[in-house]
Amino acid sequence: MLPYSTVGEAEAALGRGLTGAELVWLRYSAGIPDYLLFCHNILFLFVIFTLVPLPLVLAELRWPSLVARYKIQPKVRHPPASFLRCYVDVVKIFFFVVGPLQLVSYPSVKLVGIRTGLPLPSLWEMVAQLAVYFLIEDYGNYWIHRWLHGKWGYEKIHKIHHEYTAPIGFAAPYAHWAEVLILGIPSFVGPALVPGHMITFLVMDRSSTGGGNRHSQRV
């Protein structure tokens, strides 16, 4: 929670006027505990899990011949029930794994020094931190993914992610619960090494939705 609740108090603390973005953030977050600000993450993830794949799903169901020319496997067509089953399974993982993990991980976020107050980071600060986060996440996920394609990792965990051999949007985060947890580790390493503002952390988490399961599935 911010240590001040009015624009005058915030400007006095910073020794300058607030930017437009800082004014919006102050008005929104001044009375909200840090834990609840962090929990916005759960809502954002659910909305993205649900809405981002929808345009492609609707296009494939409504205009399959138009979409087919852009597909790796143009002859593969998923029935509506297949999309629904994939989405339901992803939502189950979200509510029973991702959501609870978010709820209990807040102490770690505070421990590494991710802040919620003012001043807000500059655009260039956010870009630099996000670049570090994505590099660490992609590097870590690359090696974890290689391990998951080994005999034990694939048979016990990773094969679930490849049940949908033709790519569909909902299948990006479709995976074994253990894979979701494991691939979430590199996503936290970057912010732990280069802690920033909660807003930067939320942007990073939105961009890496699916715990790193962003590779395309192929037969």
Q: Could you list the pLDDT tens digit for every one of the 219 residues in the chain?
A: 788 888 999 999 999 999 999 999 999 998 899 999 999 888 888 888 889 889 888 888 888 888 888 888 888 888 889 999 999 999 999 999 988 988 899 999 999 999 999 999 999 999 999 999 999 999 999 999 999 999 999 999 999 999 988 878 888 889 999 999 999 899 999 999 999 999 998 888 766 654 444 444 443
Residue 88 lies in a domain: yes
Examine the domain organization and report whether 42 and 27 are in the same domain. Answer: no
Residue 213 lies in a domain: no
Residue environment code for 50-64, b if the CB has 16+ CB neighbours within 10 A, otherwise e: eeebeeebeebeeee
Examine the domain organization and report whether 101 and 28 are in the same domain. Answer: no
Q: How high is the pLDDT of residue 67?
A: 83
Residue 44 lies in a domain: yes
Residue 218 lies in a domain: no
Examine the domain organization and report whether 41 and 11 are in the same domain. Answer: no
Residue 11 lies in a domain: yes
Would the pTM count as exceeding 0.75?
yes
Ranges of H-type helices in the chain: 7-14, 20-29, 34-51, 54-62, 64-68, 80-93, 99-104, 106-112, 123-148, 151-156, 177-193, 198-207
End-to-end Cα distance, the chain: 50
Tokens of 11: 């400007």
Examine the domain organization and report whether 56 and 132 are in the same domain. Answer: yes
Residue 142 lies in a domain: yes
**Count of domains in the chain?**
2
Residue 217 lies in a domain: no
Examine the domain organization and report whether 158 and 71 are in the same domain. Answer: yes
Q: How far is 178 from 164, CA to CA, in rounded Å?
A: 18
Q: How far is 42 from 46, CA to CA, in rounded Å?
A: 6
Q: CB count, 10 Å around CB of 79?
A: 9
Q: How high is the pLDDT of residue 208?
A: 62
Examine the domain organization and report whether 19 and 104 are in the same domain. Answer: no
Q: How high is the pLDDT of residue 218?
A: 40
Examine the domain organization and report whether 17 and 51 are in the same domain. Answer: no
Q: What is the extent of the structural domain holding 163?
A: 37-207
Phi, psi angles (nearest 5°) of residue 62:
-90, -40
Q: How high is the pLDDT of residue 211?
A: 44
Examine the domain organization and report whether 119 and 22 are in the same domain. Answer: no
Examine the domain organization and report whether 25 and 62 are in the same domain. Answer: no
Examine the domain organization and report whether 13 and 54 are in the same domain. Answer: no
Residue 102 lies in a domain: yes
